[in-house]
Structure 1
């Protein structure tokens, strides 16, 4: 491990190259670059999750820690490791002080693994607009978590307003066991179409809303959410034209699927670690069209998949809460 105090981006690049020569690492084996954006108070939890994900994916991890934006003097401290506590791959922890934290891309861009996709994960409050953060602008995939927002339901709506193909949210990833169980209910040939569905969960709980949106987009019917504001998902009911009902419910540590006329199906169900959720999202590096359809359905914001996957950086100063002058579009700049 190499630790650099009050350093520069150039010295960090050199330290990474030196560590790579010593450790014998090669960049050609890296599947992606993961950029983790966090604050200093959340660094331990973010590192634990990222290390678990790194154990499942060969990657270069860049942890951008916005340590103290209001510090009077900009400063960069860095920790460079290969095969250390943050997983078997290459990792660089960048602690940024002062206004440097608002220009993290100036240090991060030279450290990206060559020819490898970039995924940015915000561990903490997601940005209102991802274009405010250049660390999201240059990424192919962008991962947020609306449950870490002060108002998760409003944050989910904002994710639709600000959506671009390549975006995803961990509130959606948490639904994988539910989606797998409910999809299995339609295995085989069915002669009766579904006529209605209800999600038992909070009407303002993002995962419950997204599950309702997924069912609505897949089954082409109205799906209601029945529960108190922040109640987690406890079950799903789907009615069919022949009057029969399929139910998926939580019973202890199992997710039970009950279909009339068939044997009950049980599968283990427990809260998955954050690192496992992150690792699941890193398995795919293309746009998640099913998530886009579910998000559109539940928020009422249409045309998400038709949007451009690229963003243009919008300067935003958190000290004032105001946007800066807009950059001209490429056509305007050329004229």
Structure 2
């Protein structure tokens, strides 16, 4: 491991090359570059998840920790790890302070592995518009997590409005086991589904995407039965034209599958660690059309997969917006009598 404090992007590039030579690493073995955008309080969780994902997908891991963008003096601290605590990958953890944090691409771009896809993952509240972050514009795949937002359903709506092919969300990844079990229930029947009910918390983005998926696949509008008794999606009920009812109910790490005229079955439905969810998304580097259709159905927007895949960078200075809001508040006063 090499630690560089108050350094420059050029020094980071040189130090990574030197560490690679000493460790015997070769860039030709890299399947992708994974950029992780996070903040200081989430960086350890992000590193742990990325380590698991890197074990399944050889990559160069670039962790960008943005902090204190209003600091008067720019600063870059970097930690370079090749085949160490972050797994079998080449990793650079960069803490950026001051205005440098708003121009992270100036340091990140020279570190991208040539001729391999780039994936950017925001571990934290997703950006309102991905095009305002150059690290998202340069990526072939972009992974967000609406569950990290204060209002997950509003964030999911923004993901639909801002969608471009190549986007995905970990809320979608979390319902992969649900979708697998629901789809498997129709291996032995051709009955048409006429109604569906989802039991879940009122702001659960996984339930919203499950509803969108059922709607896009079956042409129905599922009913959402809100409950505060459970922290995440609890149950999916399907009613068929022939009178059969299928119910999948989650209970901790397993689910009970009930079907009219058959005995109940217990099936695995484990909540996976964050690293496993990230690794699943790295398995595919093309656009996920099924996700686009489910997201569009949940938000009432059509043809998301027909939008242009490339974005044009939009410069946005968050500190200017904060100063504008602060100034407006300072000048606001009680109404004249």
Q: Is the structural similarity TM-score above 0.5?
A: yes
Cα displacement (A) at 1:252: 4.2
Cα displacement (A) at 1:129: 0.1
Cα displacement (A) at 1:263: 4.1
Show the counterpart of 1:112: 112
Q: How many residue pairs are counted as aligned between the two chains?
A: 321
Partner Cα separation in structure 1 for residue 227 and residue 249 of structure 2: 17
How far does the alpha carbon of each residue in 1:96-148 deviate from its partner, in whole angstroms, 9 at most, with x for none?
A: 11000000001000000111100000011110000010000000000001111
Is contact 2:199-2:227 (8 Å) kept? no
TM-score by length of 1: 0.93
Instruction: Indicate the SS of the match to 2:119.
Output: strand
Greater than 6 Å deviation, 4+ residue runs: none
Show the counterpart of 2:99: 99
Partner Cα separation in structure 2 for residue 285 and residue 91 of structure 1: 20
Cα displacement (A) at 1:188: 3.1
Structural RMSD (CA): 1.4
Show the counterpart of 2:222: 223
Q: Which runs of 5+ in 2 are unaligned?
A: 323-337
- Counterparts of 1:162-201 in structure 2, within 5 Å, are 162-190=162-190, 192-201=191-200
Is contact 2:252-2:270 (8 Å) kept? no
Is contact 1:214-1:297 (8 Å) kept? yes
Show the counterpart of 1:313: 313
Show the counterpart of 1:330: none
Is contact 1:202-1:225 (8 Å) kept? no
- Counterparts of 1:112-191 in structure 2, within 5 Å, are 112-190=112-190
How far does the alpha carbon of each residue in 1:240-292 deviate from its partner, in whole angstroms, 9 at most, with x for none?
A: 11111011111343112222233433222232111111111111111111110
Cα displacement (A) at 1:298: 0.7
The reply on whether 1:213 has 2:215 as its aligned counterpart is: no
Q: Which runs of 5+ in 1 are unaligned?
A: 323-335
Partner Cα separation in structure 2 for residue 265 and residue 179 of structure 1: 17
Partner Cα separation in structure 2 for residue 86 and residue 52 of structure 1: 9
Partner Cα separation in structure 1 for residue 321 and residue 265 of structure 2: 51
Change (3 A) 1:49 1:266: same
